[in-house]
Structure 1
Amino acid sequence: MAGDEWSSMGCGDSNDEWSCVQLLGQDAADTAFRTHWQTWITADDLKEIQSYGLNTVRIPVGFWINEDLVNDGEYYPRGGLEYLDYIVGNCTELGLYVIMDLHGGPGSQFPGQQYTGHVVDSPGFYTGDNYERAYKFLEWMTERAHTNPAYFSVGMLQVINEPVHSGDYPSEAADMVANYYPNAWTRIRDREAQLGTADSDKHHIQYMGEAWGSGNPSQNLPDTTFAFYDDHRYYKWDTSVSATQDGYISAACNDNRGGSDIIIGEWSISVADDAQYNGEFDIRDTDANNDWYKKFFAAQAQAFERSGGWVFWSWKCNWIAGFNEWRWCYKSAVDAGIIPKDAASAAGMSPC
């Protein structure tokens, strides 16, 4: 989603942060990532987000942003905390609510995925030692958010992004639901108790919802006060949806993702790989389908607002597959006239 940026950093064909650090060496990689962080998302981006009527930013971070948790022999870029502080501080100044998402867990929580920071064949997250590192990350972030004024807008902590599915890794998923999930809750709440945090100021704690397929996230939680659930709804990969304009609109209009404790934390206006360049959906060198994409955006936004709201994936990317692929990029889709500059006006655009 940012291939040109990745190449400009010198990461070449590296598949993740880990392999880029190995390729460049630690010091050179740190310099390359520092330049990226300084320029990719800035205060101007956040002001633009606010100007479009958006009120929430989900920030995906790797556990390695707390460098004390990185083991010898692990390869992650260093120095990111300074820029996280900068982004969060600007969110606080602008009144943007922040979901702090543990996007890359120790040992990698899902195989073959770049979002973990280290692409692996077998997920290594599901061990006592790596759970402990994740708990320490959550405790550290909890304290930082409650004691650093720049973090005032951080209201929600997501304990892990996109873990394994029960159907593929039944023992790992079951262990996570039985052990990691309730212990993560307890470690956050215990740290808040140590800090003397008022009940009304406690963090919202977020888990992947049951629709993700890892089991019932709440079944072993000691409490569900301020518990929220993340739902990643990509029609693109739902083979039960007819890959036609009418099929996608019908699916979105009739979708019910659940109650107000469910946030659709990732979605896009992309369509199935085998349909995205056909006459109904192509966006390369043509605006013939633009009006349909406006409707598709509005239908999804309306559906997801019947639940707890939404966060689009992603705010910014550069050219994908050699063209301006705005179906994944909120900022680019606004610039293309697909997504309205006032997010609230989507309701009036919905075909439902």
Structure 2
Amino acid sequence: MQLLKTFCLGLAALTAATAEHVKFQLRNGQLPARAVNLGGWLVAEHWMTGSSPIWNGVPDDVANQGEFATMKHLGHGNGDWRFEQHRANWITEGDIREIASRGLNAVRVPIGYWIMGYDPADWSNHEEYKIFAPGALKYLDTLINNWAARHNVAVIVSLHAHKGSQNGRDHSAAPDSGKKYWSKYAENIENSVAWAKFIAGRYKDSDAFLGLNLMNKPEYDTDPNVVRSYFERAYREIRATGNDCVLITSPMLNEQNPGSMANFMNFPAFYNVWHDWHPYFVWGYDGKNEEQLIDAVKQYGRTNLAPWTGNWLFLGEWSMASPGSAPFRDDAQFRRYGQTLLDVFQGAHQGWSYWSWKVSGDENGKNGWSMRNMLRNGHLRL
């Protein structure tokens, strides 16, 4: 009887803990996400992780192409241990603890298709996934099943680097830098659907798993019709398993505006679908001074956020980085810039995710790409 009582009490406590996880409030739209990206961790980016052992002795023109080119250069004998060290140290439970203590309720974590450890649609037999350093999946497991569950932080997994590359960038580990092959070959789309189902299925019953960003930053000449067809197919196949996790769609990079995809995958035919924009105020704002940049942020709210009529909007990336013409050397003015961003971004129903939690060298000075630097130094106040 005592054993049964103990079991029941334990089950009740587990059920209560599960019901109380912030993931459920976020998924139901009761809370907006106040999130931060774990950038540079499971998809390494040289520009923001320069202190990592990955890059020692790797020429910049190779490192700046991303993981594929870097591992081709290093080989497994010299590369695997570097990536293992990087993954073990770039993000730790201490980071998740601090993220929670700062009042944030979610993280967005970029991953690459190679995290599966195999390619379910390698019809060409190129075996490109074998180029990458193995072993990233255990870190994603630990993040979702342990750290985030323990510290009441929800996890959005961003499918950042698709096979063949959807944008040719370093953060999609393009096999041919600048080239976008994803939509040109059916095996790439098949791989993406299988990958989305793999991640959604693996964490379906994990307390902290909020959902998937199905594709990060697709760019032309990736075919937008193929992108949208993939979104719909991934939705159908994931929902067919009884999984109601959040699924986040993205427009083409230069079409993040109210006129694009407002009528795509809408409720009630589709549910738990969010839409992703990345409002940065660093590129395309050269020449604007500090006041003009702050005004541009306010204008963005009026012309982009306010008119949006589509699925719940999620601002998956933003930062306090600014162009050289608006250096924000005065701390009070910099705080005003940050507060303006926060105020305007309240117009996105499902919140936002800062890019990124940390960058190399952010322990000193002022770095708008590092949220921990902004929070620790009082430049951003949530």
TM-score class, shorter? 0.7 to 0.9
Question: What is the aligned counterpart of 2:134 among 66, 78, 82?
Answer: 78
State whether structure 2 residue 55 is matched by structure 1 residue 4.
no
How far apart, CA to CA, are the structure 1 residues paired with 2:112 and 2:217? 13
Structure 1 residues 9 and 55, CA, compared in 2 at 3 Å: closer, same or farther?
farther
Counterpart in 2 of 1:140? 198
Counterpart in 2 of 1:21? 71
State whether structure 2 residue 218 is matched by structure 1 residue 163.
yes
> Structure 1 stretches of 5 or more lacking a match?
283-287, 344-352
Structure 1 residues 45 and 293, CA, compared in 2 at 3 Å: closer, same or farther?
same
Counterpart in 2 of 1:216? 261
Any residues of structure 2 matched to 1:106-255 within 5 Å, and which?
106-111=163-168, 113-118=169-174, 120-126=177-183, 127-147=185-205, 151-165=206-220, 169=221, 172-177=223-228, 179-190=229-240, 192-193=241-242, 197=243, 202-209=244-251, 212-213=254-255, 215-216=260-261, 219=264, 223-239=269-285, 243-255=288-300
Question: Which amino acid in the other structure matches residue 38 of structure 1?
Answer: A
Counterpart in 1 of 2:25? none
Asked whether the equivalents of residues 106 and 125 of structure 1 are also in contact (C-alpha less than 8 Å), the reply is yes
Question: What is the aligned counterpart of 1:294 among 326, 332, 335?
Answer: 335
The alpha-carbon deviation at position 226 of structure 1 amounts to 0.9
The alpha-carbon deviation at position 218 of structure 1 amounts to 5.3
Asked whether the equivalents of residues 110 and 116 of structure 1 are also in contact (C-alpha less than 8 Å), the reply is yes
Question: What is the aligned counterpart of 1:303 among 341, 344, 369?
Answer: 344
Bigger relative contact order, structure 1 or 2, given CA contacts below 8 A and separation 6+? 2
Structure 1 residues 102 and 93, CA, compared in 2 at 3 Å: closer, same or farther?
same
Q: Secondary structure at the match of 2:340?
A: helix
The alpha-carbon deviation at position 101 of structure 1 amounts to 0.6
State whether structure 2 residue 148 is matched by structure 1 residue 91.
yes
Alignment deviations for residues 264-305 of structure 1 (CA, whole Å, 9 cap, x no partner): 110111112x42xxxx516xxxxx422111111111111112
TM-score by length of structure 2 reads 0.75
How far apart, CA to CA, are the structure 1 residues paired with 2:290 and 2:128? 49
The alpha-carbon deviation at position 40 of structure 1 amounts to 0.7
Question: Which amino acid in the other structure matches residue 333 of structure 2?
Answer: W
Structure 1 residues 64 and 334, CA, compared in 2 at 3 Å: closer, same or farther?
same
Question: What is the aligned counterpart of 2:317 among 252, 266, 277?
Answer: 266
CA RMSD, 1 decimal: 2.6
Q: How many residues align?
A: 312
Question: What is the aligned counterpart of 1:316 among 353, 358, 367?
Answer: 358
How far apart, CA to CA, are the structure 1 residues paired with 2:252 and 2:141? 32
Asked whether the equivalents of residues 207 and 217 of structure 1 are also in contact (C-alpha less than 8 Å), the reply is no
Structure 1 residues 7 and 225, CA, compared in 2 at 3 Å: closer, same or farther?
closer
State whether structure 2 residue 93 is matched by structure 1 residue 43.
yes
Asked whether the equivalents of residues 9 and 32 of structure 1 are also in contact (C-alpha less than 8 Å), the reply is no
> Structure 2 stretches of 5 or more lacking a match?
1-47
Alignment deviations for residues 84-129 of structure 1 (CA, whole Å, 9 cap, x no partner): 1112220111111111110000111102x11002252320111211
